[in-house]
């Protein structure tokens, strides 16, 4: 019997890593580089971003759908895709922490070029903390 985790690997293998799903934030001066993620993690990231994009599209369609049954179906599909995104991102961040031994780091992220970064909380301005919170799930855990 195939599980959802098996389907992740199957779908991830089909992913073509493209620029549209790649991280777009530049490495910042306060970032400490840990290294570049491998192709498998790139595919996990890209698949999660694709699911999030599709979830947002379904939610937008639902907002303008007049037929209640169709609207409910779109909302259900969007919810499913969002939950898949969230679960895969959790797997991604756990894998990153394990790969780069970042278990003790509070703030980690991914930047352009697939670079994993970390930074200490000391010296972070409130604006940096808020910026990181708004990007949570995309660039920061």
**In angstroms, how far is CA 82 from the centroid of its own chain?**
11
**Mean pLDDT throughout 101-130?**
83
Tell me the average pLDDT of the chain. Answer: 86
Please give the pLDDT value at position 130: 67
Whose CA is closest to 138, among 89, 84, 87, 100? Answer: 89
Span 116-132, pLDDT tens digits: 999 886 655 566 666 66
Residue 140's pLDDT band (boundaries 50, 70, 90)?
A: very low
Please say if the pLDDT value at position 69 is more than 80.
Answer: yes
Please say if the pLDDT value at position 34 is more than 90.
Answer: yes
CB 23 within 8 A of CB 112: yes
Please give the pLDDT value at position 22: 87
Residue 141's pLDDT band (boundaries 50, 70, 90)?
A: very low
Please say if the pLDDT value at position 20 is more than 70.
Answer: no
Please give the pLDDT value at position 96: 97
Please tell me the distance from the alpha carbon of residue 123 to that of residue 104, in angstroms, as a whole number.
18
| Token duo for residue 25 | 């934030």
| Token duo for residue 95 | 């894998």
């Amino acid at each position: 019997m195939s599980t959802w985790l098996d389907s992740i690997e199957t779908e991830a293998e089909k992913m073509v890593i493209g620029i549209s799903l790649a991280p777009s934030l530049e490495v910042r001066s306060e970032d400490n580089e840990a290294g570049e993620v491998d192709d498998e993690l790139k595919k996990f990231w890209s698949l999660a971003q694709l699911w999030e994009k599709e979830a947002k599209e379904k939610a937008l369609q639902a907002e303008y759908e007049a037929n209640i049954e169709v609207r409910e179906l779109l909302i259900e599909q969007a919810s499913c895709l969002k939950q898949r995104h969230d679960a895969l991102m959790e797997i991604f961040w756990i894998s990153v922490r394990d790969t780069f031994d970042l278990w003790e780091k509070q703030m980690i992220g991914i930047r352009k070029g697939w670079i994993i970064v970390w930074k200490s909380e000391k010296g972070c301005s409130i604006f940096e903390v808020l910026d990181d919170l708004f990007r949570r799930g995309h660039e920061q855990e």
